[in-house]
Chain A
Amino acid sequence: MTTSTTETTPVIALPGRTAALLTGLGAAATAGSALMPWTWTSEYPGDLTFYGSPAGLQWLALTAGLVTLVLLLATQGVPGLRWAAPRRSSNAVLLAAAGAVAVGWFSVISIATDLGGLAHLEPGGWVLAAGSLLALAGSLGLPLDRRTAVPLRILDRRLFLLVPIAPVVWFATHAVPEDKPVAPVLTALAGGLAIATGGVLLVQLGHAANSWLRLGTVNRPLPAPRALPSWVEVALIVVAFAIGLFAITFGIDTEYGELFTGYLLLAASVVASLGRSGLLPRLRALTVKYQTVTTGAAFAAAASFPFTQTSDQYTSVATNILIFATVALGLNIVVGLAGLLDLGYVAFLGVGAYSAALVSGSPASPIHVQFPFWGAVLTGAVVSMVFGVVIGAPTLRLRGDYLAIVTLGFGEIFRITMLNLNGTTGPKITNGSNGIPRIPDLEILGWNLGKPTTIFGFELGRFSNYYLLMLLVTAVVVLVFARVGNSRIGRAWVAIREDETAAEAMGINGFRLKLLAFALGACLAGLAGTVQAHVSYTVTPDQYTFAEALPPNSAFLLAAVILGGMGTISGPLAGATLLFLIPKKLEFLADYQLLAFGIALIVLMRVRPEGLIPNRRRQLEFHEADADIPAQATGDTVALSKAGA
């Protein structure tokens, strides 16, 4: 099972059961600290001043502590909890403890900096900081899966020249009077150098930590789960989606940036640790077994979101997430399946939105018609598809980067054209930068989406209505993606992505299939655009740019696909949700948004190039499990003797 290059040893050798004891104590302290006040004033958001009544960040600390504790007990084989860690890997505990430290220390530091000093911490805060650190230290003493040796990587020595240079420039900046023309240049230079130096030192520190920790993966086959009656398995899926709905709702409903940051830290560590513990892979196996139930549960969970909300504040966020995610999924057909780099995809959303706006009956539209919903949807989708074909037909014959350049150009041309069709620089169609305002609300079969509706005694506001409509569109796109992706056409797309020459040699008309992918992608984006026009009342050209601080734009769409995982359904949906929520919730990032975003992408591509939810994971895991069967290993010769038969 264990290959020669991995071992299961503690990083810090501790006698006997001390490590487990320390970890447990630390985890319990972390969780327990949530029941104590962390600070004495209610100035810090969330009001963390009460005994026995957790709020905001305290809930996160409680969760982190409990998850660590449960995983610890599970890996120690405590009966009744073993389901939580079928792989018995202590690394899961370490990951959870690291999450506890991240959440705990983030909270403490954020309280101290927000309120101005450590004096503002109450005992709860100290317990939290100490407890989480204790858990982490303890978990380093657990038997961890590690590589036997990781040589220390040293960065290019020339990079370390930055360390003396950066302070010199810093002093120079301060020495030069501010009215000198070089002053702003020096300031910018000093800032850049500071960031670069920090980056170099951090990366080097990371390398050092890596060669000390030597964490790795030992191939631990997932033991077969206990046979359960199928209704229990189905119930487990339903429970999992209910928890998922709760977690996502919590994230969307976070009211201040600190809570959202803590939430992201916790979510990342919980997902990582449960993945390592084997619980998530097991759940995934269940979802594969009951695909219909899973899809149904996922949509039921998504559809019940508006019912958890009391105002339209967050349903509007959720609706926009859905629009963004749906378009990202459409882009995933083009990029993820067919491998075509489309840098102007948001323009197809725009084409759909503008088409729908023009036939919506808006008083600002030069076409004074009001199509029924179905007509508008069809118009948006078809016009968008026509544009897709028109753009694709001349460019898709070429290979390589031409498509990226042409689509980038098309995206900008679309926006500029919409700007210019304003009556002065062109025919009066789109009102230029004012866009087409006052788009009336949709009415479907007598149901006016602009008016609150009452379902099951819940009153749903305007955005809730649009959310449910948009969910329907998402379902259509998911269905199309799933079915086409797993068909003759989808296989041909993937083949083209993998190796176009070989695909052509297998009888695939590359041009035609690429055009088909392009047109289908455009059509689905147009479909989403028709709804978007009505959701946002107004369509303006600047909603459809290449790159901007806020989604949806082409760069973010592409990032959502790549971040989430190319070629999967859940990947872009997750990626889009994250990329929408992060700028929305972390407003303090606003000025550094694109910088942070770029750094995050670089880091992600470095550590997880396959995306958050990689494709074919299922198969790979499947093979991990049966790699131990000897018949497979020697299959080579067996197969050879069969060949001539």
Chain B
Amino acid sequence: MTTTDAPAPTPAPAPAPAETLLDVSGVTMRFGGLTAVNNVSLTVGRGEIIGLIGPNGAGKTTFFNCLTGLYVPTEGTVTYQGTVLPPKPHLVTQAGIARTFQNIRLFANMTVLENVQVGRHSRMHQGLLSAVLRGPGYRRSEQESRDRAMELLEFTGLAGKAEHLARNLPYGEQRKLEIARALASDPGLLLLDEPTAGMNPQETRAAEELVFAIRDRGVSVLVIEHDMRFIFNLCDRTAVLVQGQKIVEGDRETVQNDERVITAYLGAPLEGTAPVTETDQ
């Protein structure tokens, strides 16, 4: 193993004993006879960036779906800031967990701005009647929603395309829009499902910076990725999921040196996928 000799751009060290934000304990998800997620536990602290890797079909997306209420886990509980989350997606978002999807799921026929404004839904309270009457309170809240959405578009670099239809954006920008939309719900924790899938190296670099910037806004991040370099540059800790089971969790070295990861996940020595040269800028 020669992966450690070059001083890798280690991520800003997380505040040491981070307050636990998300506590997943013993989550199991079975589809009939198939156990897609098997007794997985994981914690995410405030301000942390945690990685989740594993081969295709390992159950990563299913795990996310269990966290966000899209699936009701067969066993196990998900606790966010001390309260057990109900398995209802909108309540999970309300509680403060937002997510993106592996296959981009934007509202294709809405404008970029509207997409982000939809993300703010759970933080606004204007109902049907106030929409019809359009009182001052309504107008203030609309203005605030638009301002917040524009600020997030600014943040993700999409402000110039606010009035475009989401479906007309290039692929990379659609991914960014999904992140902006998720951030609009003022989450404490952001779940990213393969945010760099289909991106070129340049775009991947930018996505890395974006994730750091998100953390700097005080949002913890749990990210699924295939790109090892991306994950190791980014994450404070990384968990490895293989066939639904978490086989190891730890920092870069722990994961890279773990025999089971090498055999089960990579099926080949690690140098092949994460050589030293890739850790440069």
Contact = CB atoms under 8 A, between A and B. Distances in A.
Interface of A: 479-480, 483-484, 487-492, 494-495, 498-499, 501-510, 516, 520, 615-616, 619-620, 622-623, 631-632, 635-645
B70 A498 contact: no
Contact of A487 (B109, B131, B182, B202): B131
Nearest to A645: B213
A487 B145 CA distance: 10
Contact of A636 (B122, B168, B172, B207): B172
A206 B46 CA distance: 65
Contact of B209 (A480, A509, A615, A643): A643
Contacts of B158: 639
Contact of B124 (A488, A499, A616): A488
Interface string B181-202: 1101100000000000000001
B132 A491 contact: no
B209 A489 contact: no
B17 interface: no
Q: Which bucket holds chain B's interface residue count?
A: 35 or more
B122 A507 contact: yes
Given A616-B165, A619-B164, A639-B158, A494 B110 contact: yes
A392 B162 CA distance: 35
A609 to B, nearest CB: 13
A619 B164 CA distance: 7
B142 to A, nearest CB: 7
A491 B110 contact: yes
A504 B118 CA distance: 10
10 closest Cβ contacts across the A-B interface? Answer: A644-B209, A507-B122, A639-B157, A507-B93, A487-B131, A642-B157, A504-B89, A640-B206, A498-B107, A502-B105
A351 to B, nearest CB: 20
A645 B156 CA distance: 9
Given A488-B131, A491-B121, A504-B90, A643 B105 contact: no
B99 A505 contact: yes
A507 B213 contact: no
Nearest to A636: B170
A635 B163 CA distance: 14
B107 A494 contact: yes
B132 A502 contact: no
12 contacts: A480-B132, A483-B134, A488-B145, A494-B109, A499-B107, A502-B107, A503-B118, A505-B70, A505-B105, A508-B122, A616-B165, A644-B213
Nearest to B111: A619
Given A488-B131, A620-B165, A643 B118 contact: no
A503 B202 CA distance: 30
A643 B176 contact: yes
B140 to A, nearest CB: 13
Nearest to A640: B206
B243 to A, nearest CB: 25
A479 B210 contact: no
B56 interface: no
Given A488-B121, A506-B119, A623 B164 contact: yes
Report which residue of B117, B157, B184 has the largest number of chain A beta carbons within 10 angstroms of its beta carbon.
B157
Contacts of A636: 170, 172-173
A492 to B, nearest CB: 6
A496 to B, nearest CB: 9
A506 B128 contact: no
Contacts of B155: 643
Contacts of A507: 90, 93-94, 119, 121-123, 185
Interface in B106-147: 106-111, 114, 117-119, 121-124, 126-128, 131-132, 134, 138, 141-142, 145
B129 to A, nearest CB: 10
A506 B70 CA distance: 12
A205 B172 CA distance: 43
A638 B212 CA distance: 18
A122 B279 CA distance: 89
Nearest to A499: B105
Given A619-B165, A622-B163, A509 B90 contact: yes
B19 interface: no
Most buried by B among A492, A499, A636, A637: A636
B113 to A, nearest CB: 10
Contacts of A635: 160-161
B258 interface: no
A640 B89 CA distance: 30
B109 A615 contact: yes
B68 interface: yes
A643 B156 contact: yes
B213 A502 contact: no
Q: Which of A488, A491, A504, A631 has the most CB of B within 10 A?
A: A488
